[in-house]
Amino acid sequence: MAKIDLSNISHSYNPNDPNPVYALNPFSMTWENGNRYAILGPSGCGKTTMLNIVSGLVRPSAGRILFDDKDVTDLKTEDRNIAQVFQFPVIYNTMTVYENLAFPLKCRDFSKSKTDERVNSVAETLNLKSFLNSPARKLTADQKQLISLGRGLVREDVAAVLMDEPLTVIDPDLKFRLRRNLKEINEQYKTTLVYVTHDQNEAMTFADNIIVMSEGEVVQTGSPKELFERPNTTFVGYFIGSPAMNLFESEASSNDSVKINNTLIKTHTNLSNLKTKNIKLGIRSEFIKIAQNQNENLVDVNVEKVEDLGNYKLITAKLGDFTIKSKVTRETEIPSQNVKLHIPADKCCVYEDNKLI
Ligand SMILES: Nc1ncnc2c1ncn2[C@@H]1O[C@H](COP(=O)(O)OP(=O)(O)O)[C@@H](O)[C@H]1O
Ligand SMILES: [Mg+2]
């Protein structure tokens, strides 16, 4: 296992074109040994390109990749000691499940007993034990993907296991269990796992560090909590969380207050150095509650609907022309009229030109 540094990396698939298009704009980051990372972003934002640069399938147009401070940019995939799992299963149909799982070990001359031990342990984790002697071609699509995953996990000595939307073909229940298993594997073996997904739930439940991407840019890296509470950009606020972060066009009113729909909202942000008028207030619906005895940051709203979503209620209301959403406990009584919501100052995020101040 290794610490992985991506240093000033950028990539274009048409670098010699008069107007090259950059699939990845310059960025640097470090993946620490033994952590769980998710690369999260919509389709086409550059996730696979980033992963393939680390594994060596793609050579970056600029920048260096270091494993444990050793420059591997010019090394081929085979020489990087990486395990990669793709979106669709890649298996040897003519081999048994056991032979498929054992293959990466056989290539490296592991002993029979060590191979047995590793294959059995991985097969146990992935529920493949009863299929070990079956020909791989007889298995279902999701079982085949489990074999691919197993081949990625069977070696303990890899620098990292890179997974590119690996659970796409797997049904939701099994997905949930597998993500938990992957977490256990990471905790037990301290394997660095990097998991690409476009699904925020997958990223949030799997990773301790999430790299959020948009249009070839790394827009934020952080823990699920950081991304939830302090999104760096309105894109992250919108992309992460369900519902998306409430975002209101507003104007600055004093050094720490903004006005939305003629209501003054105090924040904990210093607004004395604004350069533009493109100001938005962001606040998670989880932090907005029915007002109790607070005397500031109250907004009068017209409730449009209340949805009972099992363990919470979601209020959708109008604040002038704005829609505001608030998540409250099931027990919360919602008055039939004159509803006031409270927006806590310490949970307010203020954005200038869509970037967090
Ligand atoms: N082999 C390729 N040749 C040219 N363009 C590519 C190639 N692979 C990806 N791209 C382009 O690079 C951008 C990023 O793609 P990709 O890394 O596959 O995104 P993601 O995995 O997030 O969906 C997209 O605009 C895609 O069309
Ligand atoms: Mg992809």
In contact, 344 and 268? CB cutoff 8 Å: no
From the CA of 50, give the closest atom in ligand 1. Answer: 17
pLDDT surpassing 80 at residue 42: yes
CA 138 to chain centre: 33
Decide whether any atom of ligand 1 lies within 6 Å of the 11 Cβ.
Answer: no
Residues of the chain with CATH 2.40.50.140: 248-356
Name the fold adopted by 248-356.
Answer: OB fold (Dihydrolipoamide Acetyltransferase, E2P) (2.40.50)
In contact, 250 and 265? CB cutoff 8 Å: yes
Residues 73-100 have pLDDT tens digits of 999 998 998 988 888 888 999 999 999 9
Question: Among the listed ranges 144-148, 223-227, 342-346, which one has the minimum average pLDDT value?
Answer: 144-148
Residue bearing the bigger pLDDT, 331 or 7: 7
Decide whether any atom of ligand 1 lies within 6 Å of the 257 Cβ.
Answer: no
CA 336 – CA 348 distance, rounded (Å):
27
pLDDT at 180: 82
CATH of domain 4-234: 3.40.50.300
Decide whether any atom of ligand 1 lies within 6 Å of the 48 Cβ.
Answer: yes
pTM: 0.89
From the CA of 42, give the closest atom in ligand 1. Answer: 22
Residue type, 130: S
pLDDT surpassing 80 at residue 169: no
Closest of 52, 89, 55, 101 to residue 167, by C-alpha? 89
Residues of the chain with CATH 3.40.50.300: 4-234
Residue labelled with tokens 């984790």? 125
Average confidence score pLDDT of the chain: 92
Interval 223-242 mean pLDDT: 94
